[in-house]
Each structure stands twice: as C-alpha cells, then as structure tokens.
Structure 1
C-alpha cells in the first residue's frame, strides 16, 4: 500500500480512505502475533500523514485513538509503543488545526502525561540514548511537540491541571514527570508561561530542587534551566532567590563523591542559562561565582565538572563582559593546561569546551582581548592540523570566526588556509551513511556533491542532478557531530566574509556556490545556516564594493549573480519548507540582504510584488509549513512558533517601506493593513498584539510624511493600545503614537492635546521603565515636530526628570535632538534647564555612548558654549571630571 500511495491521485481518494480503518484492524490483529511486524506496518501511516492528498483526514480522530491506545499499553514492547507515539508527534505537527477542531487536546495531554508518569525500567545515569527508546521517556518528546505546535491557551491549562497536583504526589516518578512536562513545554509556550504562570511554577520548582529524591531534583533543575533560557528577561528578576539556591547545589557536588552525572549536567545547565542572560545584574555575584568556577576547574578530579565549569564561565562572560577582566589571568592560566593535543575522551571534551570558551571571550571582551586574539588564531591553526574529532574541529572553526571580529583584515595571511578548511568541511561526506534496499549495502553517500552551479554569468541558477545509482536509497543517517561541524563551518564562512573584507574577496564565489548547494540538504540546521550564510555572503560582497571602488568592476557581475540566486532560492525555499524554524531563518536572511543591499536585492526578482505576495501569504498562513486548512474565524489562536514565523515575515514590512518607491509600497500596505488590524483584537494573544502594533509603528517611522495617509485608522488603535495590560504592547503603542505625532502632518495636529493628556496619564501610572523611556521619546518627537502645540513649561521638566533613560537608550538620540532643536530656535523654555542638561550630558559621556549619540551630545555642548558660555558657570564645579568631559567637547576657534 505504501508503494501504491505514490501513484494515488484525486480520483482514488475515496477508495484509499475506505481502506484506512481496515488497515488499523489488521495491525490490531497482528500485534498479539508479531509486535515487530506490527511496528513496521505502522510505517504506512507516516506516508499517509505526509501525503498532500487528504487520505487520512476523515480518520484523524480514529487514528489518534489508535496510536494513543498502543502507546499507553504497558504490556507491549517499547519499540511498538514508541513508534505509535512518534506517529502522534507527526499528526500533532502536521494536522494541528484538525486536532483543535476535534477538541482532542485534553485526551492527548491526559494520555501522554500518564505514559510519562510510568516507572522507567532504565534509570541508568549515563545512558540517555537508551533511555530515549522507552515509551515513558519518549512521552516527553510528544509533550514537547504539543507545546511547539498547539496554541498555548489551549494546551497549557490542560497540562498544568495535571502537573500542579502531580508535583505534590507521594510517587517519586509522578513528581519527576510533572517537572519534566513543564520543562519540555517551556520553549514552545514561553510567552504564555512567562506572562501567566512563571511565578507560581517557580515556587514549585524551588521546592522540587530540594526534594529528597534525586530524580525529582534532576527534573526540577531541568525545568529551571529551561526557564532560564526561554523566560527572559522576567526570570532574571529572581536572581536574588535563584542564585543562592544554585550555589548551594553546586557546592554540594564539591563535597559529594556519589553525585550523579545528570545532577551535575542539569544544575550546571541551569546556572549557565541563568547567568548568560543576567547582564549587569550578575555583578554582585561575580566574585563568588568566579571563585567557585575557577576552583572547580583547578581542583576537581571530574572531567565533567571541569567541562561544565568552563562552559559556565563562557556564559558568565556574556553577562559580565569587561568586569571579567580581573579574573582573566588566572582563568587563562588554567585554560592553557587543556590545550595540548589529546585523543582521550574526557580531556578531549574539556579541550573542546576550552576552545569554545576562548571564542566567547574574544567576542565579549572585544578590544580588551586584542593582544590575545592573534594567539588564539595561532592556537586554532596549530590544533586543526591533527584534529580528527568533529567536535574539536567545530570549536576551532568558531574560534576562527571570533578572531575575525578582532583581527579583521590582518587575518589575510591565514584566510586562504582557513577558507579551504571550511569549504572542505562543507563538501565532506563524513558522518553521512546511506542505507540501500539491499540491507547488506552501506555506502558513504555522495549525492550531495554537486558542481552544477555556475556564477560566471549574469544569472546564477542552482541545478541538482541526481544519479540513477541512488534511486534505491532507502534511508540516510546523518551523525549529529558531523552535521554540527558543517553548521559551524558555514557560520564561520559567513562571518569571515563580513569581517575580513578585501582579504576574502577571491573566495566569495566558491563560498557562495558551496553554501547554495546546501540549501536543500536533508538536515534542518544545515539548511537554516545555509540560508543565513548566502545572505551574509551577498551582504559582504555588496559592502566590499562600497568600501573599495576598485572592487566594483570585478565584483559587480558576481554580486548580481549571487543576488539573483540568493533571492530566488530563498523565496522558493520558504514557500516549500516544512520546518518553521528553517522558514524563520530564511526570512532573517531576506531581511539582512534587503537591509544591506537595498533596491538591487529586489530588482533581481523582476518585480517587488514577489516579496509583497510572500509577506501577504505568510500573514494569511498560506505557506507549506503553516497549517492553514481551517476557516479564518476558527483560526485566531496559534502556537508561539507559528506567531514567530509571521513576525519574522512582518519584519520585512517596515524595511520595504524604506527601500520601495512610496506609491508601490502604499498600495501593498493598504492591502496588508486589515490583516494587521485583525491581530489587535482584545482576544488576540499578547504576541500578536505586540507584533501588530510594533510593525505599524516601525512602518509609520519609515513612511515619513506619507504616514499622514493612515492617521485616521491608526490613531485610535495606538491610543487604545497605550492602555494594554502588557508592557511590550504599551511600549510599542507609545513609540507608535510618538511617530504618528511626528509624521502625521495636519491630520494629527488636532489630536495633540488628547495625545499629550494620554502620555501624561501614562507617565503617572507607568511602572515599566522601558515604557517610561518611550514616553519621553514620544514627547520629544512632538516637540521637534510642533513645539508650539506642546506646553513646554510642563513637558520639559517631565522629560529631564527622567533622564538619563534606563532601558531604551536609543531614545536618547530623539530626546537630545529635540533639546538641540529648541536651542537652535532660541526657545526660551529650554534656557533655564541648560545647566541640568549639561550635567546629564557629562554623565552620559562616561557610559561610552554610540557614535551617533556621542556626536549629537558633543555638538550640542559646543553649540551652547559658542552662544551661551555663561550657562557653564551654573554647572556645579565640584565635579572636576564632569567639567573636564564637557570641556573636551568644545571646539575652540
């Protein structure tokens, strides 16, 4: 039947549909006789679920019950149970809207959670691969798939109804399963959990971390690690409670010889993810944390603890940045002991992590690491000579990429060798094994090698020729470590092209060809990275032409060919791609290319309508990776990754407003506006509301004066969204209101009084500092655009009293531009505030502001000195450093 399925067309649908219940009955009868054969027979359902012709559609509910029945039967072998649970995953991910229509979520959650709570016969600490083959452990993957593909509003309440009492169960396995279920749901439902359930769940996790049973502590710690990774930034607010608990757990490991590997792994994972995202909040704990980690590296006899401690230092560096410098000498001294070539498993893992951490240090410490970057480069080139382990090679590629951020064109003597290493990795067939119909034949697969792309002409088309010798390939095995190596090699290739500039010029064409070949690779991570890499290579080529006039003649034809292939391939790829994560990366790449290259990136498409239509289709859920088979009225709730996909496409809208002629864009945007407005309903998710209002605001910013055409439709929604319960929605609405007030022309001026009152009321009530910063920015925009309509005697003190801004630092530019504008007009309202403004500027200059803001600040100080030098006499003279900073801004004639 599987073979017949390949030739089924619409005229045979009914006959084939009628066979499905009979197939189920045959397999049910086969199970008591031969479970292995029954498991093999279930392969038919994989093809039925994937089939574009809706053969299985009328039987989805029946099939779900069948799969869940097998998966729940403890008397059956794990092979058969896991196969059925895997089919459940396929149905959930491919037919999610049908599941919603049938209201099948409660049944699924109850059934799968019961399986997860079963006693696991394999609780060995270090053999996780075997554990994954049991039904109870595979059940966590089913819950993960549900979290990723089902609307959180429909899924999470049913899950928590089971997990909350289970966390207090007397049964150890049930308590552990509850924390595990919450952990694996966090990625897919992060916004829902962060906004509605985080505080309550954290209290339960704290309790679980102190549970007398190791299995429960382990699952609770895993949940904390997932919270730390996916519930930012809110989870960081609990650092005072969480870090002492984590320190306590880690200290126990130091004095226990019986600690299990999983306890170590998950506790360090939680510490690492939490510290990685703390930012400056980590500073009070930095001495204690670094002392512990450095002592663990130096004194522990466990290679695992050394490895995880070094990894935790990399995470800490991401937050601490230059504050890590006092600990650097001792750290580097310790790391050097792990850099000698080795093939022993334990020391090799430590070495790989050491090189990864050196790469992070190069990236985070930047100029402070200048003198050590060349040493790191030499180290990598030395180690790569004899590196046979794919993880070691991967880490070295990452180190090369990090070094290119610092060394840039000075890497030129080594770029050729590094390029060849990276490209050879992309071409390599290591880790790829084909299984043929003849089960005795196993061959290394070479069907991914393809030299058919030609970039020499004005067109650059990708053609894949498949040899008939591969027609009998039954399956392909891809070893993860080798795939990870390819991912890192391709990522490094893109970074090297961007960072080493002219030194990479002669390698652009071959790099692009090899990366393009991998856009159809049978591994999602490689496809994602290939999509990003081809975009980076196009951007690097364009920047090189702009940077070096001599390059224009030699590279302009190549750039046109690259853009043609890149844009066409990415558009085709995103329409046909089944994985949302890959599609999101494609949109990120399209965004980067259009942002960098501008109109030429769109011109190679022949018509900008290709991109317009793509964005429309994503918002309307028409892509292959979107399950858009249900009526719109029933389709308001989405999985968070589905929303993220729409957001990634929506990011193109303001970008297109910037690069497309206004008449073309306005036609497109007018058609898109109703789709965006639908997402602002009260019943819409926070993510939808935030995305819609943010996209509208950014688009109005790019439209400039043409924003006046949309005032009547957008002004009411901006005002109402300013009162939203969610901080991010309010923030985006306040920003959008300021932009509309600045760009709305005569159509908005009649609303100034109402806007000012709304912003004033919001300032009094607002507790989120980012929103406060944006209120200051909105008021500043109104001052710059129509200061005569603003009561400056009230508004200026309000803004100045909230300076410097604390969260949205970009709005400093808007605020000080408005002050400079008032001073240029010699508006009397600004004059009494100049001494206080100068003090604020002097303090801001200490923070090393970005170049654009620094120039605005210094020019403003210079302008005041040139025209009102007496103002400086009113600046407090007790702070000599502040006075000197202000004086340094002054340009003497």
Structure 2
C-alpha cells in the first residue's frame, strides 16, 4: 500500500481520486484499527525510501509516517527518535514536495505524539524555525500548524526560542496572505500560552496587530478575525489581569460587535475569548454580563441542523487532501459527507462553557441569569 503514495494525479485528472490520497486514507484507517500490524511495515518503507533518488519516494516515506502517527502513537514511543530523523532531514530536502510532506508529518507528530515529542524540542524547534522561511507557502502553512501543535504545552522549555519565534511570526503576520496569517496567529497563540509571563515584552505588539484583524467585516476575512479574537484571549491569560484589565474594553467591544456578522466560527471563538476574560477579571467581569450572557444563550438555542462537509483543496488541511504537494491548484471543492458534528455544535459547546465561567467567576452577580 505504501508505494501507492508515490502515484500522484496528473494535471488533467481528478486529484480527489488519486491513488496517493486514497492510499493515505486507507493506511490511516488501518493504523487506527490495526496499529500493531501497520507500524512495522510503514517504518520499514520510510527507512528504506527517505533518501531515495526519486523525490516522490522521499515524499511518500515521510507522508507514511505522518499518516500513521495517530493510530500508531503507542508504537512510535520507542522509535520516535528514528522517525524524527527521517522527517527533519526531509524538511531540508531540495524538493518542495518533500518539504511539504515533512511539514505535514511534523504537524501530525506534534498533535498525536504528545508528550513524548516535547523531549526532542532542541532538534525540532530549530528545524521549524527554518521552515517558516521556506519559499513555499504550502510548507510555511503546514509549519505554522506544526509549531502551534508543538509549542502549546512546552512551558518554560520554550523560553530560549521565544525571541526568534515571535520575531519570525510577527514578520510573517505582517507580510503573508490571509490564509497564512490565520495559521500564523494560531502559532502565536500557542507560543503565548507556553511562555506565560515571559510573553509580556511581546504582548503589546501582538495585541496591537490583533486590533486590526478584529474589525474586519468581509466574509473572506472572518476566519482571520476569529483567530485574532482567540489570540487576544490567550495573550490575556498569559500576561494576567494587572497588565490587561485597563486595555481590554476595546477588545471586548470588538468581540461583541462580531456577533452581528453571522459567522458561527467567529461566535465560537468569541465565546472562548469571553471565558478567558471572565477568568482573568473574576468578579470585575460582572459589568459585561448584561452584554455577553444573552449572546451565549442565543448560541445555546441555535438549531443544530446538519452541515455539508466541504473538502476545499485550497483551505488549511491537516489531513490527507494535502498529502501531495503537486495537487492541481484548480480543484473545485467537493462534498465529502454529511456531518452531524457541525460548526453550530462547536459554537454551542463554547457558549455553554462560557456560561459556566461567567457563573463561576462573577458568583452572586450571575444570579439574575438563570
């Protein structure tokens, strides 16, 4: 099955039906259900081919490791150093398709191989930093995702890398296209969460940048606005009440105004933002209850409905639609399946959690809101 990962679609073929994508999905399913039987052959394939003369085989080698990282997570523990060697070497490959696959695999490792992968931060973080300057936007985007997944739980281990990471991310945020800005903001949030009080010297600059995103109103910009709202909440939690209380009102006002834009993901992230602010301000958050409680109730009362899951080849995708780097950029989005878990359910979950935080931190002031 692994050799099929080398068989990418031609430009005139439907990449959704390409052998490499189908093979990745099958291998992933097998890894989740039969990890003991899958990990050995995949590791052997990767070890044999990660220096293959044909770049498609090098790409397939690192892709295969990323694909099975969720299902075979327990089996990776004893072989993680060996697997990281393959992926980090591929991240420096001269071929973009190989670097793209390596950044995908590293993101999967960062998400599914916690906490074991954190002990390798001294080798992983410098490689991610280099990948953030890759000429390929695809590699950059996947590297932001890998950085976000990797850094969130690093704690004080991130401190030696904090300055170069933030400098690189801020520069990228100022100069990147919108889709990269969204994943870049996720990475900034993870770095802030890990750094906590050490993030204070960078908070003002980051918060000032978030202001610009939190006033965007065009439909195509609302995902970025949602990410910015999330980042402000994370930064506020990191640096604390003393430094945030006086400067929060305009951010809260912008967050409330976002509910008039009819975008579920923005509402979801805004409820998370309000949860963070309630935790920071504690009983001082009472002044905002008349404004935010009705918004939370409104989200809780939404009809779940059902949603058509659209597979957009140009979107941020940490699954298998982005396995190969030479997919046709002109692919049309396709209907993948009808999903019971909709964005509305995520919004309702965030709103419910927010209500709990409001009651917990404002205590008796919440009594008028049964």
TM-score (norm 1): 0.36
CA contact (8 A) 2:217 2:261 kept: no
Q: 1:136 matched to which residue of 2?
A: 20
Counterpart in 2 of 1:350? 224
> Is 1:377 matched with 2:261?
no
Matched residue, 1:203 = 85
Give the distance between the partners of 2:230 and 2:123, measured in 1 at CA: 30
Indicate which of 233, 241, 245 corresponds to 1:359.
233
**Residue aligning to 1:497:** 359
1:837-856 correspondence to structure 2 within 5 Å: none
Does structure 2 conserve the Cα–Cα contact (< 8 Å) formed by 1:187 and 1:230? Answer: yes
The separation in 2 between residues aligned to 1:188 and 1:476, in whole angstroms, is 24
Tell me: CA distance 1:252–1:264, structure 2 relative to 1, closer, same or farther (3 Å): closer
Give 1:375 shift: 4.1
2:70: which partner in 1?
187
C-alpha deviation, 1:218, in angstroms: 0.9
**Distance (Å, rounded) in 2 between the aligned partners of 1:418 and 1:241:** 44
C-alpha spacing 1:433/1:186, structure 2 compared with 1 (3 Å): closer
Work out whether 1:408 is the aligned partner of 2:285: no
1:315 aligns to what?
Answer: 190
**Using the alignment, how far apart are the partners of 2:126 and 2:338 within structure 1?**
47
Alignment gaps of 5+ in structure 1: 1-111, 125-129, 254-258, 435-474, 509-893
**Higher RCO, Cα 8 Å, sep 6+:** 2
Offset at 1:137? 1.0
Say if 2:335 is the partner of 1:335.
no
Cα offsets for 1:107-137 (capped at 9, x unmatched): xxxxx4344332233699xxxxx75554531
The 8 Å contact of residues 373 and 407 in structure 1, kept in 2 or not, is answered as no
Q: 1:477 to 1:280 in 2, by over 3 A?
A: closer
8 Å CA contact 1:293–1:309 kept in 2: the answer is: yes
Which residue is equivalent to 1:808?
A: none
Shift of 1:416: 4.6
Cα contact 1:143–1:184 (8 A) shared by 2: yes
Q: Deviations over 1:214-268 (max 9, x none)?
A: 1211111111122223333332333332222222222234xxxxx24x2222111
User: Highest Rg: 1 or 2?
Assistant: 1
Partner in structure 1 of residue 109 of structure 2: 227
1:147 aligns with 2:25: no
Q: 1:500 to 1:191 in 2, by over 3 A?
A: farther
Any idea what SS the aligned residue of 1:170 has?
coil
Q: Of 423, 426, 449, which residue of structure 1 is paired with 2:297?
A: 423
Q: Distance in 2 between matches of 1:415 and 1:317?
A: 27
Change in 2 beyond 3 A, CA 1:155/1:476: closer
1:487 is the counterpart of 2:363: no
Deviation digits for residues 816-867 of structure 1 (CA, Å, limit 9, x no counterpart): xxxxxxxxxxxxxxxxxxxxxxxxxxxxxxxxxxxxxxxxxxxxxxxxxxxx
Check whether the contact 2:203–2:235 (CA below 8 A) recurs between aligned residues: no
CA 1:370/1:134 → structure 2, altered by over 3 Å: closer, same or farther?
Answer: same
Distance 1:351 1:498 in 2: 28
Task: Say which SS state the counterpart of residue 371 (structure 1) adopts.
Answer: helix
* In the alignment, structure 1 residue 285 sits paired with structure 2 residue 167: no
Give the Cα–Cα distance (whole angstroms) in 1 for the partners of residues 156 and 349 of structure 2: 31
Distance 1:425 1:288, change over 3 A: same
For residues 307-342 of structure 1, give each alpha carbon's deviation from its aligned partner in whole angstroms, at most 9, with x where no partner exists. 232221111111111011011222222222222241
Equivalent runs, 1:217-256 vs 2, <5 Å: 217-253=99-135
Q: Which residue is equivalent to 1:397?
A: 271
What are the superposed Cα offsets for residues 416-442 of structure 1, whole Å, 9 maximum, x if unpaired? 5433322332332366369xxxxxxxx
Name the CA shift for 1:477/1:235 in 2 (closer, same or farther; >3 Å).
Answer: closer
Distance 1:335 1:173 in 2: 40
Question: Offset of 1:369 from its aligned partner?
Answer: 2.8
Mapped partners of 2:11, 2:139: distance in 1: 17
How many residue pairs get aligned? The number is 341
Match of 2:313 in 1: none
Looking at structure 1, the residues matched to 353 and 11 of structure 2 have their Cα atoms a distance apart, in angstroms, of: 38
SS of alignment partner, residue 252 of structure 1: coil
User: What are the within-5 Å matches in structure 2 for residues 1-20 of structure 1?
Assistant: none
C-alpha displacement of 1:502? 2.7
Q: 1:113 to 1:317 in 2, by over 3 A?
A: same
State the secondary structure of the residue aligned to 1:119. coil
2:139 maps to 263
Change (3 A) 1:493 1:146: farther
Q: For 2:347 and 2:18, how far apart are their aligned partners in 1?
A: 29
Deviation at 1:495, TM superposition (A): 3.0
Query: Where does residue 327 of structure 2 map in the other structure?
Result: none
Change (3 A) 1:230 1:478: closer
Partner SS state of residue 211, structure 1: coil
What CA distance in whole angstroms lies between the structure 2 residues aligned with 1:131 and 1:431? 30
In structure 2, do the counterparts of structure 1 residues 187 and 370 end up closer, same or farther at CA, with 3 Å as the change threshold? farther
Cα deviation code 1:619-642 (max 9, x no counterpart): xxxxxxxxxxxxxxxxxxxxxxxx
1:480: Cα distance to partner? Answer: 4.1
* CA distance in 2 between partners of 1:415 and 1:115 (Å): 56
Tell me by how many angstroms 1:282 deviates: 1.3
Instruction: Please report how far the alpha carbon of residue 410 of structure 1 lies from its aligned counterpart in structure 2 after TM superposition.
Output: 2.9
Answer whether contact 1:376 1:399 (CA < 8 A) is retained.
no
Q: Could you tell me how far apart the structure 2 residues matched to 1:282 and 1:204 are?
A: 23
Aligned 1:320-719 pairs, distance under 5 A: 320-345=195-220, 347-367=221-241, 368-384=243-259, 386-429=260-303, 432=306, 478=340, 480-508=342-370
Structure 1 contact 164–178 (Cα < 8 Å) conserved: yes
RMSD: 2.8
The 3-state SS of whatever aligns with 1:370 is helix
Q: Give yes or no for contact 1:167–1:176 (8 Å, CA) kept in 2.
A: yes
Give 2:10's aligned residue. Answer: 121
